Amino acid sequence: MPDDNDFKTIRYETPLSSVARIVLNRPEVANAQDIQMIYELNEAFDRAAFDDAVKVVILAAEGRHFSSGHDLGDQAKVSDFASVNNWGGYEKPGAEGWMATEQEIYFGMCWRWRNLPKPTIAQVHGKTIAGGLMLIWICDLIIADEDATFSDPVVAFGVNGVEYFAHPWEVGARKAKEMLFTGEAFSAQEAHRLGMINHVVPPKALETFTLDLAARIAQRPSMGLKLAKQSVNQALDAQGLWTALQAAMSLQQLGHSHNMQVHGPPVDPTGIEVIKNMSKKKDPGGGEKDD
């Protein structure tokens, strides 16, 4: 595992005894996730998983926003890194290679992190957009500050939504359809009302509140925490979460294939202007968006 200083896109910290904190650290691009960040996140989660002194893992972010989603300008390839999952075929032409890539760096990684056998807490501020949702939805608890907003505008790209398609489970079917159909952001207060997040706190209290919660959880025995997490996750699996996620991932690949046949790239390029125009609208708090 890399030492703290070996990470280029994240930080790994131990702010308290028994608590590890992974911090997204590309603030200059609003923590857009390039492929290197995905693999570094995986290494950091593994590091926390294999450290028996760690009982709780916090996922936080540097800068103004938690994450603006996938870095669409990233030129790296999955084949540049050591594969974690077992799809292979990343360099194959057409939909086959694209499906393999997304199974590895998005879908496969998210499912792996979701099942990490220790409690995880997302500490969220600013904007969480599209691919940013997959990072917080794999966490067991979500704490957000009062100014946080959440959105998935990628239907404008001609696909069904972000790859880890947990929308109906996180916000309910009706809200899931609204957030996907419109692409509009909703507030932390709305997310709390819908049950997506656990607590909404003032911005200045976000770090302290999250650390205090992690410290209280860390007082419990690791075995009890592990069994409690597995019990809840298995209840969701029994309700069909895993099957639904796989089905949505298949439809994601149908969308990409259609786009490649019609437009050339795997996403509809007209979606870029749609999303840019959305940035001119008011955010859920009533202020003007500035992205």
Decide if 40 contacts 10 (C-beta within 8 A): yes
Round to whole Å and give the CA distance between 15 and 169. 31
Residue pLDDT, tens place only, 26-47: 999 999 999 999 999 999 999 9
Confidence of residue 4 (pLDDT cuts 50, 70, 90): low
Q: Give the pair of three-digit tokens for residue 194.
A: 């819908």
pTM attached to this predicted model? 0.93
Confidence of residue 277 (pLDDT cuts 50, 70, 90): confident
CATH topology of domain 4-278: 2-enoyl-CoA Hydratase; Chain A, domain 1 (3.90.226)
Q: What is the mean pLDDT of residues 194-218?
A: 98
pLDDT of residue 278: 81
Confidence of residue 276 (pLDDT cuts 50, 70, 90): confident
- Return the DSSP state at 44: H
Answer yes or no: is pLDDT of 288 > 80: no
Round to whole Å and give the CA distance between 146 and 164. 25
Neighbouring residues of 198: CB distance < 8 A, sequence distance ≥ 6: 141, 142, 143, 192
The residue assigned the tokens 């202007």 is 273
Round to whole Å and give the CA distance between 234 and 238. 6
Neighbouring residues of 168: CB distance < 8 A, sequence distance ≥ 6: 176, 244
Answer yes or no: is pLDDT of 285 > 70: no
Helices (H), 219-269: 222-238, 241-262
Answer yes or no: is pLDDT of 92 > 80: yes
The residue assigned the tokens 């656990």 is 198
Answer yes or no: is pLDDT of 55 > 90: yes
Neighbouring residues of 202: CB distance < 8 A, sequence distance ≥ 6: 145, 146
- Return the DSSP state at 289: P
Q: Where are the domains of the chain?
A: 4-278
pLDDT of residue 268: 94
